[in-house]
Structure 1
Amino acid sequence: MRVTSLILLLLLSATLQMSAQEKHQWKDATSGGYTYRYITGDPMQARFYTLKNGLTVILSVNKKDPRIQTLIGVRAGSNSDPKDHTGLAHYLEHLLFKGTTKFGSLDWAKEKPLLDKVEGLYDTYNKTTDVEKRKAIYKQIDSMSGAAAKFAIANEYDKMMTNMGAQGTNAHTWVEETVYEEDIPSTAVDKFLAVQAERFRDPVFRIFHTELEAVYEEKNRGLDNDGRKMYEAMLFNLFPTHNYGQQSTIGTVEHLKNPSLKAIRQFYNEYYVPNNMAIVFAGDFDPDYVIKRIDQQFGYMKTKPVKEYKAPAEAPITKPIVKEVFGPDAENVNLAYRMPGALDTKSAVVLTVLSQILSNGKAGLMDLNLNKQQKVLGASVSTLPWKDYTVFSLSGRAKEGQTLDEVKDLLLGQLDILRKGEFDESLITAIVNNFKLYEIQGLESNGNRANSLMDGYIKHAGKNWLYDVSYVEDMGKVTKKQIVDFANKYMSDSYVLLYKRKGEDKNIEKVEKPPITPVEVNRDAQSEFLKSVAALPETPVKPLWLDYDKDIQKGKVGNADLLYVQNKDNGLFRLYYRFNMGSWSNKKLPIAASYLQFLGTDKYSSEEISKQFYNIACSFNLTAGAEETTVTITGLQENFDKAVQLFDHLITNCKPDEKALAGFKNRIAKSRSDMKLNKGQIMSGLRSYATYGAKNPFNNQLSKEELDALTAEELTTLLHELPSYKHTIIYYGPNDLATTTAAVQKLHQQPAAFKADMPAKQFEKTVQASNKVLFADYDMVQAEVNWVRNGDVFNPANTAVVNLFNSYFGGGMGSIVFQTIRESKALAYSTYAFYAAPNKKTDRYAVLAYVGSQADKVNEAIAGMNELLTTIPKADKSFETARSSMKKDIETERITQDGIIFSYLGAQKLGLNTDIRKSVYESVDKLSFDDVKQLHDQNIAGKPYSYCILASEKRIKLDDLKKYGDVQKVTLEEIFGY
């Protein structure tokens, strides 16, 4: 599988010495009346079918859970957009959720003439340049769209998928692909295929102008995203002629303002044809049955010639191209190279190994020479392996007092080392060993399987799976000379250098808000097609409950409790030491936990420890959360003893290193400064402020003075003493309980008696007495609004109704909130609202709601959400869909592996000793809409809220916000605590 997808497959060690040619060959087989191709020795046992009409079907069976990850992919993305209508493929992706002549409509005969008029108006609008005339035409579009919407059933596709128990309903468009994604129960194959076959038969582009506004919002969100701007600037300069750089996936502002439904329809007709599409299934199903049903359902599709995008050959870059990008977020530097594309499979394998030598997270050149030695705030490597070209980039962030040019020179210095071959060739062996670990992990996930298979189809039309299956073996054959030659050929001065500078972006062109009248969504309407799909038979799946007394074995390792679940699937282990104390007990714990990665011992340097872990394909992590601190050691069981012993040696014998601490403090100071520039971090802090008050978990940080006063001695003492505190040992792996107990007893040092836990500071959620507005200023086009309200203390008896309320009210695309805010009123691209349950029995529930909109729509957005928070609309069919979805989710959920143990620990924190899903499942059929309404009325409606608003004062006036409550402008120092 593709390295960039992290989907690499386990190759059996007994046959490693065989050549890939002997192990892996294309073969033909016939089963259930259909012929398919497969690769010998493919651990995914993928079957490749080509139906008579050219449709590719790829099936990989995995019986682990009664669910199936499905993908339907089209080999067309923004590369294929017409030059005068960029963003068109992405538009179309959105419209494929709007239904057809058979679903999504109350009366197609009456709806069609109105939609025809809308299409004609858009065509006129597209060709009109006079501003006033355009406004008049758009007013007609708005009016006619409203009339057509009276016959539309918004989100009927989502309702059908939710009703059959689908999860993760989504789609994405990129440069070479458009992919539609669903995770369905194994029992829903017939229902799923019936819906999908109809979905692609003759899609109707209804409710277009509100969906267009959602795309506008998506564009504006991108304009506020400095990372997105860096990405687009990188591609624009790397590819001056290729569509990779000249046609952004979301489209230009000008083209977004001038959409053409006729052009979108033409794109659909040209590219959504069977010989340009693939259906991928990965999960629990009968492949003979599935291929027959796909053939029956999609046989109507007719093969057509497809005009593929023919890429121009880019002229070589002969000297660095230097550009700057401005925005409010933290500064960084990026160097990007244009490499051979994924179709050049030999180069792709070499580049994979090369990139891992530079950076693999543990023992690469940049990992050891830059990150481990703290010469920069952070440095990394990334690749984008597209068909025609691969983008290879190095990025770095400056520490305190460092310039971006200094970071650039350090990054280029690592390339110099690579080009000179100054690295140990044994690193290649270690890379391959670690990829075997990734292979095992990749096999466990249906999503990983499906995405890898689809990726192969998009790039190679599924014809080069032999290359994918042999990938790890081919990596092992790469030589040092090949790497050095490749680096010298492609990594000279032929790069694009981008500086992300802090400052005002004067080139931002916002997509202006058009006047939109809210449209009907007809929540309770149902088409005959929906009813026919719902009536299709399905074999019920019985839910499986955890029995913590039977599913978890319990023992003792010295004084520590041991929780054990055996891994019967593969040779991986995961070992945890879990302490019931974190930053609420000692604010220095997170600092000490992060400091450990820079420390050595009397026997090994920090770099040597990283190399040793990487060489045995194992890793460790020490994290300190608010109330728990966790040590995680993972890897291949064959190296369990080495990994556990090495970590124990490190934490017991790590030596104070003042130089490392000085560098670490510098990086902490810079990270803190950068966090104050990040809108996501600022909003997280605002929500915490609203939830807990001025002193809260988010700003529970060491002050600058406290940080400066920290010594290496006190941090290492804290690390040395950590194992002497009470902790639970958790093991998931192939060894039996007795063997595991003996091994951990021998390898993990413990005291004769544990120390008492450090006392923890408690943060209590506030009780809002009146409306309040917490405002933070940020230079952005959008405005983001969060509603926060704390509720009652946790009660397990409420779990079923809380879950049902969230599913119905604001938890997905078919929910009341999404339909109203986005589908009907076009006020936001992203919106939600739910009643969040706490994770411990003494904590409170919380109402959390969100709308992200253009700044000039913020008042409308707030009013729209407030209306829903005040009155919950009743929609009987939507309610039944939410109930059905909730039941099917529970029926097909399988908690496995170490998830069983963490489910048990989570239940303990809530004061439970059984799997609460059982009582929820048994209760859900007894719940009515009145129960959900009662929850809404008692906990949400008419209550005071804290409004957390992040926006630019240049676009929003604080005085205008006073109508929502007392306004407090919260400073960054108040938010972050430093």
Structure 2
Amino acid sequence: MIKKLTFALVAIAISVATYAQSKFEWKEASGNGYKYKYVTNDPTQARFYTLKNGLTVILSPTKKDPRIQAYVAIKAGSKTDPATNTGLAHYLEHMLFKGTDKFGSLDWAKEKPELDKIDALYEQYNKSKDEAQRKAIYKKIDSISGVASKFAIANEYDKMMAAMGAQGTNAFTSFEQTVYTDDVPSSALDKYLAVQSERFRNPILRIFHTELEAVYEEKNRSLDSDGSLVFETLLSNLFQKHNYGQQTTIGTVEHLKNPSLVEIRKYFNNYYVPNNMGVILSGDFNPDEVIAKIDKAFSYMKEKPVSKYTFSPEAPIAAPIVKEVVGPDAESVTIGFRLPGNKDKDVLLADLVGQVLTNGKAGLLDLNLVKKQKLLRASAFTYPLIDYGILYLSAAPTNGQTLDEVKSLVLAEIDNLKKGNFDDDLIPAIVNNIKKYKIQSTENYGNRASDLMDAFTSELDWKTQVAYVNDLSKIKKEDVIAFANKYLGDNYVAVLKRKGERKDLVKIEKPAITPVETNADKQSPFVKMVNDMPATPAKPVFLDYGKDILKSKLGKAEVLYVPNKDNSIYRLRFRYKTGTLNDLKLPLAAQYIQFLGTDKKSAEQISKEFYKIASSFNISAGEEYTTVMIEGLQENFENAVKLYEDLVLNAKADDKALVALKARIAKSRKDAKLNKGAIMQGLTSYALYGAKNKFNNVLSDADLAAVTSQELVDRVKNLNNYEQTVIYYGPASITELTSKLAPLHKVPATFVKAAEPKVFKQVAQSKNQVLFTNYEMVQAETRWVRNTETYDPKNTTLVNVFNNYFGGGMGSLVFQTIRESKALAYSTYGVYASPSKKEDDYYMLAYVGSQADKFNEAVGAMNELLTTMPKLPVNLDLAKGQVKKDLETERITQDGIIFNYLGAQQLGLKEDIRKQVYSSVDKVTLDELNQFHQSHFSGKPYTYCLVASDKKVSMDDLKKLGEVKTISLEELFGY
């Protein structure tokens, strides 16, 4: 996969109390004969080792969960792709899942000659320009690939990892990193290291042409993404020499369809060397023991010089560059400023500038544009890379606005930044909020590992990351102003995304691919060896609702409490028994309150006050419950609750704010109708509940227009009169909590009963039907929906095993068949979804996203699996083992304990259902699973939900599946 861009700061958390007096220095130490470096006052306690062959090992032990987040990271990505073979680093990432000469093969001696033939044919194919000759070569590739696949075992890597209890097995490629990720039980670390050291020893590029199609389907998904188009356009204009802009991570269509296995191996040999790689682990382990194991596992690797990427500096942008792109999704404006690379002395200021512009509460864009509802949305962040950085601004118009007006509004806030038109105390407030964020980030071993990995691949000094907030707090307002004036002039690129039909999409003929063997029921000796390695499983920990949750009363309200024994963060919720099924105006009221002030404070002042004390509040209206959440540092608990309660009690209706909100909602509604994800969501709800369903249970345009300010304010003020539960996770004792909360939050003596809720019943599928909505796109996205029977807790074990076996992961039947064998899709799954309430039904939800001209084959492949389920005993053992190992290492903690309890209540359960699953999972048989499949799915009617272009799929083909209903956007959305 390609890494989705995450713009969270890399720096790791540090306890609030340590900032002022702490010193951050590199120190050296040793343990078990290995020298390592560490940074003083680093709460991750990370150790940095460099082995004899140059391999970096970073270990961050924490014993909260019996699991380890593991990364193998290579400091190379699409930036170093050859110009003649873009997308190569990403290709290679996919192929690292295919095995070596020891695993992934039934008979390497017989497989190798066939793979050598395929290698040679691809070189011919790559060089040939004659279309007839290319087709003939490809036919040979397909034929020999079929022969070679008889000796291959697909997905052995995924199956090994699943068998040891791994989660999140995947990989991603970006500009400067290729990273392989697994979350494994601590007891399976020896197995994990055995697999990883073998994986990188001699990777074999087998089952290549079907994986190539999967990558191309990934390219299709990017072609259907307006966001990808905008991002690529922005970068190509910001960086007219550097590969950040001149090469995309996924590569060009031409290069994807003309791969060179020789070049892929060359890339591996050049960059996958120990002095360019890191093994990063965080979790429950002894670092002195683990470093010796890693050294032994990877000692075969030999250090080699690595060529650094060189580039000519970009010329300054002398005048604004404005580009326009079109696509079917909603309109937007994106602006980018080029900044220095991540080691520049100004990089800390760049981070802060992004926060001054937008931090969700009190930034310039937040207060001046979003809070005042001048735009639909607006945001800014800095995106630092090694050679350059980007200040990335994005905004969307509200009703009646032009994109030029949006651009002007955003640039006006850049001018405010340059003039220093922001509060003097904004920077200290940002620092306080980052402190809170960083406290939260250390709570999870996965976050620790991710931060350490990002710093490694970004070539950042970990000392500066640990000292991040300390250094940030030294920055003055005048420094920010100077930075803005230095870097943010007329030297920007703006991309105006307009609605329209793209004319530049490349038409690609689907290749003639014969499905390859996956040998899903076979196993190599290496896999058996790994599976047989000793491992003492962790003992499962189940919740005892009577002991793990403390209960009290606040007046008539029940208080559910779990203590935070780790840090000073609290989360307080008021959960009111009324929701959208009772009142469609509640979500509107929840939105409206954020734009209101009181007789003493404006809405902007209230936002600033919350932000200054590193606190926030949010009101969200769900189907049955409306929840208010207030969170922050415990020292500010009373101030935050007072701020919220004062707002609710004294909120002043503001007609002007409501007019602006209605305009923004009207624009959001228009935009939703342009979003294919929202359209698919609507079709799925239609399939589950019928024409009137939960998705289109919204205020009509006329009802929305008629809503008054006062009735929304009244709803907010009346919220506290409904039956409520107080939920708290934090460091205060339950006695302290109730005593502090009692004078601040007045619970009424008698609760008001909410209006009778609207009831939506799931519809039975009595015949096959197709729900179709037209959308201009490259792919055709199809979902299968079938409601079955009412919830029964006795089915829980069987459902969990079935999902793992049938279609819930990369080792499942669905993935192996539709992607690995037939190369029909990049993304596909098939899961039996359990309801959240005891009176609701289970339903089947299957999905294939394929190139439109593969639609018939893709649908046929899924229907075949839904009709006849292959019986593979090895896969069943794997599925049961996954369920069991997940339960052994799952730890439900913090306020997750309370929400698990509330979820169990909705299902009518008195105790943690996981206990029942664990005790019964070993008893599930293949006959039982097959009978379950036959009785629930085989030969049964389905509703097909299809989003595709009517120019690319045939209505006659759809009619073969069932009765076709073309659903208009008005029917779908309810407005």
Q: Normalising TM by the smaller chain, what interval? A: over 0.9
Distance 2:491 2:914 in 1: 57
Deviations 1:103-138 (A, max 9, x none): 000000000000000000000100111000000000
Distance 2:422 2:339 in 1: 22
SS at match of 1:699: coil
Distance 1:8 1:576 in 2: 29
Distance 2:973 2:19 in 1: 53
TM value normalised by structure 1: 0.99
Deviation of the 1:17 alpha carbon: 2.9
Residue of structure 2 equivalent to 1:826: 823
Distance 2:8 2:356 in 1: 18
Deviations 1:683-708 (A, max 9, x none): 00000001000000000010111000
Residue of structure 1 equivalent to 2:292: 292
- Of 900, 903, 911 in structure 2, the residue corresponding to residue 903 of structure 1 is 900
For 1:435-474, what aligned pairs fall within 5 Å after superposition? 435-460=434-459, 464-474=461-471
Distance 1:273 1:10 in 2: 31
Contact persistence 1:784–1:853 (CA under 8 A): yes
Distance 1:9 1:862 in 2: 46
Distance 1:217 1:16 in 2: 48
Residue of structure 2 equivalent to 1:4: 7
Distance 2:451 2:20 in 1: 25
Residue of structure 1 equivalent to 2:655: 658
Deviation of the 1:504 alpha carbon: 1.1
For 1:482-881, what aligned pairs fall within 5 Å after superposition? 482-881=479-878
For 1:168-179, what aligned pairs fall within 5 Å after superposition? 168-179=168-179
Residue of structure 2 equivalent to 1:221: 221
Deviation of the 1:758 alpha carbon: 2.2
SS at match of 2:7: helix
Query: Match of 2:782, as an amino acid?
Result: V
Deviations 1:937-976 (A, max 9, x none): 1111111000001000111122221010000000000000
SS at match of 2:49: strand
Distance 1:260 1:510 in 2: 22
SS at match of 2:923: coil
Query: Match of 1:917, as an amino acid?
Result: R
Residue of structure 2 equivalent to 1:337: 337
Are 1:324 and 2:324 counterparts?
Answer: yes
Residue of structure 2 equivalent to 1:149: 149
Deviation of the 1:6 alpha carbon: 4.0
Residue of structure 1 equivalent to 2:30: 30
SS at match of 1:60: strand
Query: Match of 2:456, as an amino acid?
Result: Y
Deviation of the 1:343 alpha carbon: 1.6
SS at match of 2:742: helix
SS at match of 1:773: strand
Query: Match of 2:199, as an amino acid?
Result: R
Deviations 1:286-336 (A, max 9, x none): 111111000000000000000011132000001011111110000000110
Distance 2:370 2:830 in 1: 40
Contact persistence 1:6–1:442 (CA under 8 A): no
Of 736-745 and 672-681, deviating more is 736-745
Distance 1:966 1:305 in 2: 63
For 1:898-977, what aligned pairs fall within 5 Å after superposition? 898-977=895-974
Residue of structure 2 equivalent to 1:479: 476
Query: Match of 1:566, as an amino acid?
Result: P
Query: Match of 1:740, as an amino acid?
Result: L
Mark the runs of 5 or more structure 1 residues left unpaired by the alignment. none
Deviation of the 1:5 alpha carbon: 2.7
Deviations 1:330-374 (A, max 9, x none): 000011010011021x31111111111110000011100000000
Contact persistence 2:355–2:381 (CA under 8 A): no
For 1:420-431, what aligned pairs fall within 5 Å after superposition? 420-431=419-430
Query: Match of 2:20, as an amino acid?
Result: Q
Distance 1:731 1:189 in 2: 36
Deviation of the 1:554 alpha carbon: 0.5
Residue of structure 2 equivalent to 1:416: 415
Distance 1:807 1:293 in 2: 31
Distance 1:961 1:12 in 2: 59
Distance 1:16 1:676 in 2: 48
Distance 1:716 1:424 in 2: 29
Deviations 1:362-399 (A, max 9, x none): 00111000000000011101222100000111111000
Contact persistence 2:581–2:623 (CA under 8 A): yes
Deviation of the 1:652 alpha carbon: 1.8
Contact persistence 1:7–1:439 (CA under 8 A): no
SS at match of 1:864: helix
Are 1:122 and 2:119 counterparts?
Answer: no
Residue of structure 1 equivalent to 2:134: 134
Deviations 1:834-875 (A, max 9, x none): 110000000000000000001100000000000000011011
Distance 1:322 1:306 in 2: 38
Query: Match of 1:757, as an amino acid?
Result: A
SS at match of 2:506: coil
Query: Match of 1:133, as an amino acid?
Result: Q
Distance 1:877 1:179 in 2: 29
Contact persistence 2:15–2:439 (CA under 8 A): no
SS at match of 2:965: strand
Residue of structure 1 equivalent to 2:197: 197
Distance 1:83 1:146 in 2: 31
Distance 2:128 2:527 in 1: 40
Of 469-478 and 49-58, deviating more is 469-478
SS at match of 2:917: helix
Deviation of the 1:14 alpha carbon: 4.3
Deviation of the 1:4 alpha carbon: 3.4
Deviation of the 1:424 alpha carbon: 1.7
Query: Would you say how many aligned residue pairs link Structure 1 and Structure 2?
Result: 971
TM value normalised by structure 2: 0.99
- Alignment RMSD: 1.0
Q: Summarize the Cα distance change of 1:210–1:13 in structure 2 as closer, same or farther, 3 Å threshold.
A: closer
Deviations 1:250-302 (A, max 9, x none): 01111111100000000000000000000000111111111100000000000
Structure 1 residue ranges (4+ consecutive) displaced by more than 6 angstroms after TM superposition: none
Mark the runs of 5 or more structure 2 residues left unpaired by the alignment. none
Distance 1:741 1:142 in 2: 70
Are 1:394 and 2:397 counterparts?
Answer: no
Contact persistence 1:5–1:452 (CA under 8 A): no
Percent identity over paired residues: 59
Contact persistence 1:328–1:504 (CA under 8 A): yes
Query: Match of 2:400, as an amino acid?
Result: G
SS at match of 2:664: helix
Deviation of the 1:231 alpha carbon: 0.5
Distance 2:209 2:85 in 1: 16
Distance 1:541 1:136 in 2: 55
- Of 12, 17, 21 in structure 1, the residue corresponding to residue 20 of structure 2 is 17
Deviation of the 1:16 alpha carbon: 3.1
Deviations 1:609-668 (A, max 9, x none): 100100000111100012221111110000000111111111122111100000000000
Contact persistence 1:283–1:446 (CA under 8 A): yes
Deviations 1:889-930 (A, max 9, x none): 000000001000000000000000100000000000111111
Distance 2:483 2:174 in 1: 28
Are 1:71 and 2:71 counterparts?
Answer: yes
Query: Match of 1:908, as an amino acid?
Result: Q
Contact persistence 1:648–1:749 (CA under 8 A): no
Query: Match of 2:7, as an amino acid?
Result: T
